[in-house]
Amino acid sequence: MKRALAFVALCLVSTLAHADEGMWLFNRPPAKQIKEGYGFELTPAWLEHLQKSAVRISTGGSGSLVSKDGLVMTNHHVGSDKIAELSTKERDLLKDGFHAKTLAEELKCPNIEMDVLWTIEDVTAQVEATAKPGMSNAQKSAARRAKMTELESEAKKASGLKCEIVTLWQGARYHLYSYKTWDDVRLVFAPEKAIAFFGGDTDNFEFPRYDLDVCFFRIYENGKPLQAEHHLEWSANGSTEGDLVFVAGHPGRTERLFTMSHLEYMRDFQYPLAMRTLWRREVLLSTFMGRSEENRRVGEDEYFGVQNSRKARTGIFAGLLDPTFMGQKFRTELELRSAVAANPDWSAKWGDGWDLIAQSKKIQREMAVRFGALGGGGMGLGGDLFAKAVTIVRWADESQKPDGQRLREYRSTAKDSIERSLYSEAPIYIDLEVERMASSLQNMAELLGGGDPTVVRVLAGKGPGPRAEELVRGSKLADIAERKRLFEGGAAALADCNDPLIQLARMLDAESRLQRKRFEEEVDPLEKEGYSKVAASIFALKGEDQYPDATFTLRLTHGTVKGYEAGGKKIAPYTNFAGLYERANERGNVYPFEVPSSWVKARAALNPSTPFNFVSTNDIIGGNSGSPVVNKAGQVVGLIFDGNIESLVLDIGYDDKQARAVSVDSRAIAESLLKVYSASALHAELMGGRAGG
């Protein structure tokens, strides 16, 4: 190991984790690092309190409980699809904002779940025990999947909690996470999108920023505000430059431990395909939105989501295409492989790990386009209605099988979530559904070729546009009662169902399953086997005090409030209210730099030097949106809502020179609630009061 390290030192590349690196597991916190680096002790009680105040939101973001009465704080952009769903042609809550002055005015959200992580248990031994020697990799993989479903089911029965086994280290560890979960969630407050997303796509992933990217929901239990066992207090004074701050949230997915062959696969196959899809969707939505004011409202939320993904992926892709970055990755891998090769025992046990992964990627390259075109396990065509058709068709089959033999997402423990999603009252916009379907039909034809037998069957003698019209407008699935009838009726109800989307899902089902089977038998087991060996060699070399790649589960990160340099300029860590008005003025106060009228009116009342947004070195990525930023006392000092452009590469590797997490300052939230929105009851609740003031 020493030699390897020396080699790396010669290459001027450090393999040591940077000071504030790490998205740590709550059951394996970076206590030592923080003690050594900051002289602060992470106690079990401190950790439990933060863990049980952190919220995972089913729409793909993070939040935190911030009052005794179940108030949840998250980002406006995390809540925005719900805000959009609660909007109508007459009442545009994204544009105008929303404020429930009483509990009675709070708006119930369709199809949302909020989870709080309650317990973590390492079940690696039980899962691994089912993978017997002599089994093929595919058999091991199937055995593990079956065991995971079984363990989840047992745990749910025992605790009544929502239970999910999380695959860590790409398969080297399995942890059983049990969640308290709620689905009665109501919208309490949202500012106007113009201030929540001031600067729009232009300033997204940039700093300095001036965004009030916050909204509040409330969890209800048995029709009453949740009496939360834990919630975060509001800091009286906020933060100061140099402060140690923590973030508890749910980073979505990182690829830091990926091997070179895997990164190359991402670079040469996965990302080019993904970028193409994002460009297509961005153009489609922009065109759709241009057609009318109503289309603009309907498409806006998805449009910003696509722009956000496109920008994020562009940043990651830039990292993959950066020879310096890839060179570092190569040298780090070489170091590890050399260390393994130098130890005969390790070499025998783990030496082929990298080759197994490379082999899995080779197979994946062969099947990537077709697999992608068929939806990578789903069915690859667009729109909410088709997704519901797929759920109905697959549930009819899967629900007849024992749990261990089902596709994972259709296991019996998932039924509640499936039903909630299927029967959601969220509006479905038929015109947009047609566009999505047409675009996805064209996409399938592009990927597979217009003469491909599947494409020919799917198009059924029509071009993508007319075929999409026929499929979407001919379907009755927009009617919740019809979805319910088919879902509950199962195979019998489907047998004589002539709904065109149901028929399409049935037509694609077999081939899609074949593709997925191939992936699950030929690619995934090789990859998991490979990574468990790579992880084992990392543990042997460096100990288990590591953090695994992100998995949209709860992680703890630490960092300091700190500016940085970019383009030769020093960038201060805080912006303030005065800066907002300056930036708007500089851009002619036109969209997306238009200050909403509420903020124009309140300008005189606001303290211009109140900190608005700030940056810190916390190791965060997408999925962390809406995470609370807390001080050493565990009090809220900020709300994560973005990373700067230099942080996008964090998906594949940490850097603290320029990469920064971007937060709304708690002081800006408190002051604007009082002075811009006259939300004194909400403000009082945050300061320790009860719901309703």
Q: Which of residues 250-269 bind its own copies (CB under 8 A)?
A: 264, 267-268
3-class secondary structure per residue, 343-361: CHHHHHHHCCHHHHHHHHH
| Distant-in-sequence, close-in-space partners of 276: CB < 8 Å, separation ≥ 6 | none
Decide if residue 568 touches its own copies (CB under 8 A): no
Decide if residue 318 touches its own copies (CB under 8 A): yes
Query: In whole angstroms, what is the distance from residue 656 CA to residue 658 CA?
Result: 6
Give 17 or 334: the residue with its C-beta nearer to its own copies: 334
Give 452 or 521: the residue with its C-beta nearer to its own copies: 452
Decide if residue 319 touches its own copies (CB under 8 A): yes
Decide if residue 474 touches its own copies (CB under 8 A): no
**Shortest distance (Å) from residue 329 CB to its own copies:** 12
Give 285 or 639: the residue with its C-beta nearer to its own copies: 285
Q: Which two tokens stand for residue 270?
A: 């996965």
Helix (H, G, I), strand (E, B) or coil at 45: helix
Residues 286, 359, 412, 413: which binds its own copies (CB under 8 A)?
286
Decide if residue 473 touches its own copies (CB under 8 A): no
> Is the CB of residue 671 less than 8 Å from the CB of residue 693?
no
**Do β-strands 569-571 and 564-566 pair in parallel, antiparallel, or remain unpaired?**
antiparallel
**Shortest distance (Å) from residue 205 CB to its own copies:** 11
| Distant-in-sequence, close-in-space partners of 505: CB < 8 Å, separation ≥ 6 | 379, 386, 389, 390, 392, 393, 394
| Window of 243-251, 418-426, 440-448, 555-563 that interacts with its own copies by CB under 8 A | 440-448
Phi-psi region of 22 (alpha: psi -120 to 50; beta: other; left: phi over 0): left
Query: In whole angstroms, what is the distance from residue 495 CA to residue 78 CA?
Result: 39
Q: Which of residues 442-461 bind its own copies (CB under 8 A)?
A: 442, 445-447, 449-451, 456, 459, 461
Decide if residue 600 touches its own copies (CB under 8 A): no
| Window of 161-169, 233-241, 271-279, 672-680 that interacts with its own copies by CB under 8 A | 271-279
Query: In whole angstroms, what is the distance from residue 60 CA to residue 37 CA?
Result: 32
Decide if residue 287 touches its own copies (CB under 8 A): yes
Residue listed under structure tokens 């064209």: 442
Preceding amide of 133 cis, omega within 30: no
Mark 523-562 with x for binding to its own copies (rule: CB under 8 A) and - for no binding.
----------------------------------------
**Shortest distance (Å) from residue 461 CB to its own copies:** 5
Nearest to 578 by CA among 616, 604, 615: 604
- Quick one: DSSP state of residue 207? S
Decide if residue 462 touches its own copies (CB under 8 A): yes
Give 208 or 525: the residue with its C-beta nearer to its own copies: 208
Instruction: Look up residue 516 and give its amino acid.
Output: R
Give 154 or 565: the residue with its C-beta nearer to its own copies: 565
Give 103 or 326: the residue with its C-beta nearer to its own copies: 326
Residues 276, 362, 415, 690: which binds its own copies (CB under 8 A)?
276
Residue 255 Cα distances to 169, 351, 413, 549, angstroms? 10, 21, 29, 6
**Shortest distance (Å) from residue 313 CB to its own copies:** 11
| Window of 40-48, 473-481, 584-592, 651-659 that interacts with its own copies by CB under 8 A | 584-592
Cβ neighbours, 10 Å, residue 471? 27
**Shortest distance (Å) from residue 174 CB to its own copies:** 33
Q: Which of residues 166-205 bind its own copies (CB under 8 A)?
A: 200-202
Residues 129, 236, 283, 348: which binds its own copies (CB under 8 A)?
283
Decide if residue 657 touches its own copies (CB under 8 A): no
Decide if residue 325 touches its own copies (CB under 8 A): yes
Decide if residue 401 touches its own copies (CB under 8 A): no
Decide if residue 646 touches its own copies (CB under 8 A): no
φ, ψ dihedrals at 244, nearest 5°: -80, 125
| Distant-in-sequence, close-in-space partners of 632: CB < 8 Å, separation ≥ 6 | 40, 244
Residues 229, 322, 366, 479: which binds its own copies (CB under 8 A)?
322
Decide if residue 360 touches its own copies (CB under 8 A): no
Give 269 or 539: the residue with its C-beta nearer to its own copies: 269
Decide if residue 569 touches its own copies (CB under 8 A): no
Query: In whole angstroms, what is the distance from residue 502 CA to residue 392 CA?
Result: 8
Query: In whole angstroms, what is the distance from residue 112 CA to residue 182 CA?
Result: 8
Q: Which of residues 288-317 bind its own copies (CB under 8 A)?
A: 290-293, 310, 317
Phi-psi region of 577 (alpha: psi -120 to 50; beta: other; left: phi over 0): alpha
Number of residues interacting with its own copies: please give it, by CB under 8 A.
49
| Window of 151-159, 324-332, 398-406, 526-534 that interacts with its own copies by CB under 8 A | 324-332
Query: In whole angstroms, what is the distance from residue 501 CA to residue 515 CA?
Result: 21
Give 236 or 318: the residue with its C-beta nearer to its own copies: 318
Query: In whole angstroms, what is the distance from residue 284 CA to residue 436 CA?
Result: 8
Query: In whole angstroms, what is the distance from residue 302 CA to residue 318 CA?
Result: 24
Q: Which two tokens stand for residue 309?
A: 């993904």
Decide if residue 500 touches its own copies (CB under 8 A): no
Give 210 or 677: the residue with its C-beta nearer to its own copies: 210
DSSP for 82-137, written as a single string? HHHHT--SS--HHHH-EE-SSGGG-EEPSS--EEEEEEEEE-HHHHHHTS-TT--H
Give 312 or 445: the residue with its C-beta nearer to its own copies: 445
Residues 39, 44, 223, 323: which binds its own copies (CB under 8 A)?
323
**Shortest distance (Å) from residue 470 CB to its own copies:** 13
The residues of the shown chain that bind its own copies, judged by CB under 8 A, are 200-202, 264, 267-268, 271-272, 275-276, 279-280, 282-283, 286-287, 290-293, 310, 317-326, 442, 445-447, 449-451, 456, 459, 461-466, 587-588, 592
